[in-house]
Chain A
Amino acid sequence: MMKDRRTIIYTVIVVALLFAPLYLNRYWVDVLNSVGLYAILGLSLNIILGYGGMFHMGHAAFYAVGAYTTAIISTRYGVPVLWLMPLSGFLAALFALIVARPIIHLRGDYLLIVTIGMVEIVRIALINDVFGITGGANGIFGIPRPEIFGYKIRLPHQFYYLIFAFAAVTVYLFRRLENSRFGRALTYLREDEVAAEGSGINTARYKLMAFVLGAFWAGMVGTIFASKMTIVSPASFSFWESVVMFMVVILGGAGAIPGVILGSFLVVGLPELFRGFANTRMLIFGAAMVLMMIFRTQGILPPRPREYPIEDEPEPASESEVSS
């Protein structure tokens, strides 16, 4: 019964999103574009933070590596931007592999601090025009628009379909990932690292893999972001950016795909709705976050247990009641 209701709700949402550009003006479509980008970023962070339980607050660094890769290569060598998606993802993943390797053994708040340091170092390196290719504080201009079969994507509603198609693919793939040996391994190490290692799981490797995969996806989102804005600058990849992604995951429900998407709507979309309240909107938003953390610590839509194709067997005429 519950399942049917969920199916109906999801169907309604998908249909509403499918036709959204038809009844929304450009401004709101653009807001939805941001929501979509953050949803994908949130989903990629969710692998690290949600499934793996690693407090990683430097995700913007991977996003930046992807965006800058696209910006540099497309402006210098004229490579079509969408072709650069895999490469941007790959370089972001490589970057994650290098920087995460020495820090993954850190736990909880220690990891948090180090990842904050990481994202700041990346931002400062970009400002300082590292290798002379990042354009310093001004960033890089004139990134070309994406093209699909000669069809140029320029307007918000065109980007809308690109972003949401990518989001749909992401959800589809990550759902499978969640319900797999890989997804389970991350959940085990979140639940109890010692027990996971003791059960034969190479915890260090899985932590690293989570970072690599999360970074790969964030890097690909970076490509879309760069071509949507046509400009990238260090200001877009501040620590605050990481905090927003972190909030998207935690608020919506760490480890739950629908939760993360909802989180993105709330964290990125809601403040736009409250624009009328001008300065007080962040105050209201902050208060809402605090209340949430008090009354629903696991997020608004926490993950539901995985389902397996096994039959129920009746419990024995309860031995446990006799024995307790």
Chain B
Amino acid sequence: MSILTLKKVTKTFGGLTAVDNVSFDLDEGVVMGLIGPNGAGKTTVFNLITGNYTPDHGEIVFEGKAIQGWLTHRIVELGIARTFQTIRLFQNLSVLENVLAGSHCRTKSGAISAMLRTRRQREEEKKALELALKQLEFVGLRPYAKHLSKNLSYGNQRLLEIARALASNPRLLILDEPAGGMNEQETENLIGLIRKMRDEGMTILLIEHDMGLVMEICDHIVVIEYGLKIAEGGPADIKENPRVIEAYLGTEDEDEEGGETASAETMAGSE
């Protein structure tokens, strides 16, 4: 059962075609990896799904609804949450308040009930707080609840982004380089976390350059290069796929010119 379908999605910026006729199906309950060299258009695909950009052509279908062109907050409301490649936390707010931002679309009370502090408003607030603490507990940041988010370590900031996304109670979670800047131990922890989320029934789509992580947790991988989908399949197939190896390592000719001899894994590390 597919939860998200991209049908021939194209996005151009001026003369540059960032995403070119990309189609794929994402099945429910699956962890899918979206990989490709730098500048391949991976983040653009994410931005199209989450409504930060509108595709020029094509359709994006989430749970049977065509969502291309929707505003981001409506897409979040529908059940797609994301994290950002360049961490975008609310730097000067506490860790707890960052998570509360995620629960915004699942709560209702407005300005007037806040001023009157109605019973429903107080109950809702209490519930949102409990839920936020639960998410913090889940990612292991509960002890830092009162800290300012900018004071967290890099790895923990990434985890906080995940907690904030989870607070919106998504069915599809989109992670843009979740392991970026994490050390080995933190990455291990992250892998465990992603597994746990999948086991709870969440569908996960991620971009990651850490091939170790991608091969370990992804059930399905889509590879794009210059905006085009060049391969799709399970981790084992992708590793063997000549087109993918070419994309990452270059062809024989390019090899001599550019002197690129790095393996896929080490390249990923240096990015």
Contacts and interface: CB of A to CB of B under 8 A. Distances in A.
28 contacts: A176-B114, A177-B114, A180-B114, A182-B114, A183-B114, A184-B97, A184-B100, A185-B104, A191-B93, A192-B91, A194-B84, A195-B88, A195-B101, A196-B101, A197-B72, A199-B164, A200-B81, A201-B105, A202-B71, A305-B94, A306-B97, A308-B96, A310-B96, A313-B142, A314-B143, A315-B143, A323-B185, A323-B186
Contacts of A203: 73
Nearest to B140: A316
Interface string A289-324: 000000000000000011011101111100110011
Interface in B67-81: 71-73, 76-77, 81
Contact of B105 (A184, A200, A213, A312): A200
Contacts, number: 127
Contacts of B104: 181, 184-185, 188, 199-201
Interface of B: 50, 52, 71-73, 76-77, 81-82, 84, 88-94, 96-97, 100-102, 104-107, 109-111, 114-115, 117, 121, 124-125, 128-129, 133, 142-146, 148, 153, 155-156, 164-165, 168, 183, 185-186
Contact of A199 (B92, B101, B145): B101
Contacts of A197: 71-73
Which range holds the interface residue count of chain A? 35 or more
4 closest pairs, A vs B, by CB? A200-B105, A180-B114, A200-B76, A195-B88
A316 B137 CA distance: 13
B84 A198 contact: yes
Contact of B90 (A191, A202, A213, A312): A191
A19 B229 CA distance: 76
Nearest to A202: B73
B187 to A, nearest CB: 11
B114 A195 contact: no
Given A181-B114, A199-B101, A199-B102, A320 B156 contact: yes
Residue among A174, A176, A200, A309 with most chain B CB within 10 A: A200
Contacts of A199: 76, 81, 101-102, 104-105, 164-165, 168
